[in-house]
Structures are given as C-alpha cells and as structure tokens.
C-alpha cells in the first residue's frame, strides 16, 4: 500500500477543482475517495499521474461536474419537498379561515371580517411567494412558467379584490377588474398558445381555453361598470 | 446510477437509498469508499455502487438530517464519516420495511403468474 504525499493530495484537489467541483464538502469526499483508491490499488512501480487519470473515469459518465449537478439537484429536491409541504399547510389554513369567514358572514356572527382578512393575508403573504419560488424552480419551459405565474397573479388580484369588496375598502372593483381583464386578455390567449404548442391533446387545450374565457366573461358580466366605475 | 455486472440498473433503481441506510444501520459509521467496498464484498461484486451515485445521495441524506458527519484528518486530507441520526434510524427502518414488503408482494405476483401458467397448461 502506497502513501500519498501532500503534493500529490494537492494535485488531486486541483484536478477536482478544474473539473468543476466547487462544493467544499463534495471536494473533500472526492479527494479522500480518490486518495484511498490510489493507496489501495496503485503499486509501487506505477506512475502516480497516469494511475490517477486511469481511475478518474470511474467517477462519471461524461464529466466529473455531473456529480456536483446531481448533488445540488438532490439537495434542492429535499428543500422543495419541505416547501411543498409548507405550501399545503398554508393553503389549507387559508381555506379553513375563508370558509369559516363565509359561514360567520351568513349567520351574522362576529369575527367574519377577521377570518377573511387572515385567510387572504396568509395566502397572499405566505402562499403566493412560496408558489412563485416553486414555479420558478420547476424544470418546465419559460412559456409554461409564464402561464403559471400569470394564472397565479390573476387569482391573487381577484381574491384580494373580493376581500376588499367584503370589507368595503376602496379599490376593490379596480383590483377585481384587473384580475379578470388580465385573465381574459393575456392569460387565456397565452394559455391557448402554450397548449397548442406543447399539448398533444390539442382539442382539450382548446376546450379548456374556451371554458377559461367563458368564466372570465361571466365574472366580468357581474360588474355594473356604470355604477362601480362611474362610466 | 450503478455499475451492475449482473443486474440491469433498471431492476435495482431506487434501492440505493435503502442499501446505504441499511449499511449504516448495521455498521454504525462509514465513509464513502468503505460503503462502495462493503457493497461489493457483500454481493460478490454483483452490485457495485458508483461514486457518481453515492456522493449526491450521501449529501442529500445529510441535508435532510437523516445522516450526520464526523470529520477526521488523514494527513492533509479530510475523511467524512457518515452515521444515522435518530431521524435517520426511523427512515432506515421505514425504507427497509417498505422494500421487504415490496419484495414479498413481488414474490406473490411471480408465484401467482407461475400458478396461472401451470393452470393453463394443465
């Protein structure tokens, strides 16, 4: 069994760095692993550098950097798992508060307004940022991300508008109308385009687009613009 | 993911986590090279874990707090020993039980097919 010198360990470290491994913990693991292989498998007569380059391909398919990519991906998956769990809790809590608010409102019980504000506040302040981060990190196309982001924004605008309406706060109509207008004029065309381009079942994409547009128009028809905006 | 001289990688894909957790449960603390050698030894070289699959998994298990590490210096270089945390012990038990149950179910399925085939022949 050979024993490696400090210079040889430094050489391995430089090689690992030059192959794109930048995470210190991963570097330390790979250095130790390569050193242990060399110490156990290299004979006294072998040339250190030649032996090192001969064992290097054991660590990858195309290049060494793929270990780091895989490590980062797995760690992120772990983080996303926690984020998805947190998002589920936030949305569940928000739903419970909103439903409670509706029940209290119907029966004229006190606390309805507080439930509405808390329910919407939680989803806007905690749920929306979490959702955006998860959407951003999804391995999907840019256009798909855009469609998802816009859909989320529309729902956010409309639900905040609804809250303002229930609470008789100003700007409620503007917020609700912005959500619906964005939905009809930007989201639906973009969704339609994205579905036609990527979805193999084009008929379903067209049907969904039509239903989304119909929903937007129906919501829009609920407004009396003459009264609410003074037109 | 694996270099498997005997088995196709598809066949054992998804079991690496359980293999590593079980080894650490049995052996207390281990370092990367030791894990790869132990697997080779126990399976008579039928399963060989590649370093490209092992280290991402060890780092992910550490990030999820299933594993904790101890660092020892060997001359200039660091050696990281991995050991199960309390949470890791529970995860390990869950994963091993799940795999055992899956193997039993698979066995039933294979035997059932064998029975059906015999039935058809008879």
Q: Tell me: the pLDDT tens digits for B101-117?
A: 999 998 999 888 666 55
Between positions 49 and 108 of A, the ones with CB within 8 A of B are 58-61, 66-67, 70-71, 73-75, 77-79
| Chain A residues within an 8 Å CB radius of B77 | 9, 28, 31-32, 35
Q: Is the CB of A37 inside 8 Å of chain B's CB atoms? A: yes
Is ipTM beyond 0.90? no
pLDDT of residue A225: 63
Residue B1 has pLDDT above 90, yes or no: no
Q: Would you place residue B118 in the very low, low, confident or very high pLDDT band (cuts 50, 70, 90)?
A: low
Q: Crossing angle, helix B16-27 and helix B32-42, to 10 degrees?
A: 100
Over residues B57-69, the mean pLDDT reads 93
Mean pLDDT of chain A: 87
Q: Is the CB of A207 inside 8 Å of chain B's CB atoms? A: no
Name the residue ranges covered by the structural domains of chain B. Answer: 2-121
Residues on chain B bordering chain A, Cβ-to-Cβ distance under 8 angstroms: 31-33, 50-53, 55-60, 63-64, 71, 74-80
The answer to whether the CB atoms of A60 and B80 lie below 8 A apart is no
Give pLDDT < 50 ranges for chain A: none
Closest Cβ opposite residue A32 in set B50, B64, B77: B77
Q: Within 10 Å of residue A204's Cβ, how many Cβ atoms?
A: 11
Q: Would you place residue B4 in the very low, low, confident or very high pLDDT band (cuts 50, 70, 90)?
A: low
The answer to whether the CB atoms of A32 and B76 lie below 8 A apart is no
Helix and strand totals (H; E) in chain A? 11, 0
Closest Cβ opposite residue A74 in set B52, B60, B77: B60
Residue in B49, B53, B59, B74 to test binding to A, most A beta-carbons within 10 Å: B59
Q: Which CATH class is domain B2-121?
A: mainly alpha
Mean pLDDT of chain B: 87
- B21, with CB counted inside 10 A (0-12, 13-18, 19+), is buried
Residue B121 has pLDDT above 70, yes or no: no
CA triplet A42, A43, A45: central angle to 5 degrees?
125
Q: Is the CB of A133 inside 8 Å of chain B's CB atoms? A: no
The answer to whether the CB atoms of A31 and B77 lie below 8 A apart is yes
- pTM (2 d.p.): 0.63
pLDDT of residue A92: 94
CA triplet B21, B25, B26: central angle to 5 degrees?
120
Q: Are the C-beta atoms of residues A74 and B56 closer than 8 Å to each other?
A: yes
| Chain B residues within an 8 Å CB radius of A8 | none
Residues, chain A:
231
């Amino acid at each position: 069994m050979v024993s490696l010198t400090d210079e040889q360990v430094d050489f391995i470290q430089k090689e690992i760095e030059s192959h794109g491994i930048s995470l210190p913990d991963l570097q330390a693991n790979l250095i130790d692993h390569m050193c242990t292989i060399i110490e156990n498998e290299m004979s006294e007569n072998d040339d250190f550098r030649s032996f090192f380059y001969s064992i290097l391909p054991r660590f990858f398919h195309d290049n060494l950097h793929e270990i780091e990519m895989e490590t980062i991906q797995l760690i992120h998956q772990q983080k996303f798992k926690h984020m998805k769990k947190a998002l589920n809790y936030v949305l569940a809590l928000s739903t419970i508060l909103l439903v409670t608010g509706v029940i209290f409102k119907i029966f004229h019980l006190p606390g309805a307004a507080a439930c509405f504000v808390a329910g919407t506040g939680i989803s806007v302040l905690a749920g929306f940022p979490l959702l955006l981060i998860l959407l951003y990190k999804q391995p999907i196309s840019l256009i798909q991300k855009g469609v998802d982001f816009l859909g989320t924004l529309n729902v956010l605008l409309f639900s905040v508008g609804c809250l303002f309406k229930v609470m008789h706060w100003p700007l409620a109509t503007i917020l609700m109308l912005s959500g619906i207008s964005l939905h009809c004029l930007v989201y639906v065309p973009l969704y339609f385009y994205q579905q036609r381009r990527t979805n193999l079942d084009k008929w379903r994409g067209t049907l969904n687009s039509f239903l989304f547009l119909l929903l937007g128009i129906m919501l829009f028809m609920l407004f009396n613009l003459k009264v609410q905006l003074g037109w | 993911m694996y270099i498997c001289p005997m088995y196709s990688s598809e066949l054992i894909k998804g079991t690496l986590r359980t293999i590593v957790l079980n080894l650490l449960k049995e052996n207390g603390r281990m370092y990367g090279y030791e894990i790869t050698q132990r697997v080779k030894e126990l399976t008579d070289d039928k399963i060989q874990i590649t370093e490209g699959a092992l280290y991402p998994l060890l780092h992910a298990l550490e990030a999820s707090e299933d594993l904790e590490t101890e660092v020892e210096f060997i001359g200039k270089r660091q050696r990281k020993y991995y050991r199960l945390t309390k949470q890791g012990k529970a995860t390990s038990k869950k994963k091993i039980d799940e795999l055992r149950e899956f193997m039993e179910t698979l066995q039933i399925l294979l035997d059932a097919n064998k029975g059906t085939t015999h039935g058809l022949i008879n």
